[in-house]
Amino acid sequence: MGHESAPKTRASDRTISLAPELREILRAHVGDAAPDRFLLVNQAGGPVNQRHWPREYWRPCIDALELRWRKFYATRHTFISLALSEGADVYGVAKYCGTSVAMIERHYGKYTHRGGGVAAFVNKIGEAKTQRLVESLRFLEKKHGNC
């Protein structure tokens, strides 16, 4: 949003679980980042700008994969819907996404089921979807460089 500051709430400061294969892809691109360094940077080495990143990176990736256009923020909605559909618990999803249980229930209640956890869902994604993601990333690197 054009400025840097601490998270607005304690819940905003969180650890994000990644499937092992995705951790390796990320590590290969950024190495081991220092705590005071931005993990994802733009071509100038500065923090990714939320205003320019979708136009410069997200749109070319979506187009290269020949996917229907959707805003980058839609990935959050997709994640929440899929996690709940696969049985991840509402509290875990809310905590993982930095939002409230009330918001999850209000907007995603039709996807909720009992049982499972966010970590199990992330691992399931890793097992079931990583190969497609890896193939897509390799395709994009060949076609456009880093996306």
Q: What is the DSSP string of 66-107?
A: TPPP--TTHHHHHHHHHHHHTT--HHHHHHHHT--HHHHHHH
Q: Is the pLDDT of residue 9 over 80?
A: no
Per-residue pLDDT of 73-85, as tens digits, reads 888 898 999 888 8
- Judged by DSSP in three states, 41 sits in strand
Is 36 a residue whose pLDDT tops 70? yes
Calpha distance 100→90 (Å, rounded):
9
Given a cut of 60, is residue 1 above it in pLDDT?
A: no
pLDDT at 24: 86
The DSSP bridge partners found for residue 47 are: 41
pLDDT value at position 118?
A: 64
Contact 65, 141 (CB under 8 A): no
- Computed over every residue of the chain, the mean pLDDT equals 77
- The confidence score (pLDDT) of residue 103 equals 92
Q: What is the share, in percent, of the chain residues with pLDDT greater than 70?
A: 69
pLDDT tens-digit map of 82-126 = 888 888 888 888 888 888 899 998 998 887 765 555 666 677 666
Q: What three-state secondary structure class fits 47? A: strand
pLDDT value at position 33?
A: 67
pLDDT of residue 87: 84
| Single pTM value for the model | 0.59
Q: Tokens 């049985």 map to which residue? A: 87
Q: How confident is the model at residue 12 (pLDDT cuts 50, 70, 90)?
A: low
